[in-house]
Amino acid sequence: MKNLTLLSICFFLFSTSMAQTSKSQVILDKLSGSMKKLSTFYVEFNANIKNTSTGVNESEKGKGWVKGDKYYATYGEITLLSNGVKTWTVINEEKSVYVSDANDGEESMNPKKLMTIWESGFKNTYEKSDVLNGENIHIIKLYPKQPDNADYHTILLYVSVRTSELKKVIMKTNDGTIMTYHLTKFISNKEIADSKFSFNKAQYPGYTVIRD
């Protein structure tokens, strides 16, 4: 009888977990479908980076333009732009520009990866429903499929119930850093010239270009 009771409890927990994952996957699939239909998008966000062990607690505003695999993002003194082949990271305080392959971009700065990070490398589960700034939202938890090779151990997505749009992201790294992004503006299919995503050295006189 005890074994039967334990088996029943395990089955219930497993069934509940599967239902929560199924619910979150439906929401994420809808979000992914909406993003894939866009030719371009523009986003504005408020970001906070905090690490209690190192004393870091910084807040900045950012903007991002995305067109296919191309993107341009500004965050404080940093500008990140990519034409889909190369990525240029401009550090204004250093007057330096770092050039790397496009696939080496950081998820935390790349607006496209931030808006689609759930699509690869993560499992998901439905945490709960809540209210954010007076709006009903779903909270979905992501955790890496391969924790030993991942930079993040937990990512929380806040998705609007009404519009199915991403409203907030919390990314928790293995070194104790917590990055919080509040999306304050989102415009879809905004016309963006391709020149926006290519580095023009003439616009950065006196800057040192460093190639990885």
**For position 104, what pLDDT does the model report?**
59
Each residue's pLDDT, cut to its tens digit, for the chain (212 residues) gives 444 444 443 343 333 334 456 889 999 999 888 888 889 999 999 999 999 899 999 999 999 999 988 999 998 889 999 998 999 999 999 999 999 988 755 555 677 777 888 888 899 999 999 999 999 999 999 999 888 888 889 999 999 999 888 999 999 998 999 999 999 999 999 899 999 999 999 999 999 999 87
What's the pLDDT score for residue 149?
A: 82
User: What is the CATH number assigned to the segment(s) 2-211?
Assistant: 2.50.20.10
* 3-state secondary structure (DSSP) of residue 148: helix
Half-sphere exposure in the Cβ direction for 141 (13 Å, CA): 12
Alpha-carbon distance 115 to 112, whole Å?
Answer: 5
pLDDT at res. 79: 93
pLDDT for 12 equals 36
- Name the nearest CA neighbour of 105 among 87, 83, 79, 92: 87
- Other Cβ atoms within 10 Å of 174 Cβ, number: 13
Largest CA distance in the chain: 79
Give pLDDT, residue 21.
61
The answer to whether the CB of 61 falls within 8 A of the CB of 73 is no
Q: What is the pTM of this model?
A: 0.80
Residue 71 · residue 111 · CB < 8 Å: yes
CB 197 within 8 A of CB 82: yes
Q: Domain ranges in the chain?
A: 2-211
Tell me the three state secondary structure of residue 170.
strand
> CA–CA separation, 56 vs 52, rounded Å?
7
Task: Starting at the earlier edge strand, list the strands of the sheet with 96-101.
Answer: 122-132, 135-144, 152-160, 166-173, 178-188, 40-51, 56-67, 70-75, 78-82, 86-91, 96-101, 208-211
pLDDT at 172: 93
DSSP string, 51-100: ETTTTEEEEEEEEEEEETTEEEEEETTEEEEE-SSEEEEEETTTTEEEEE
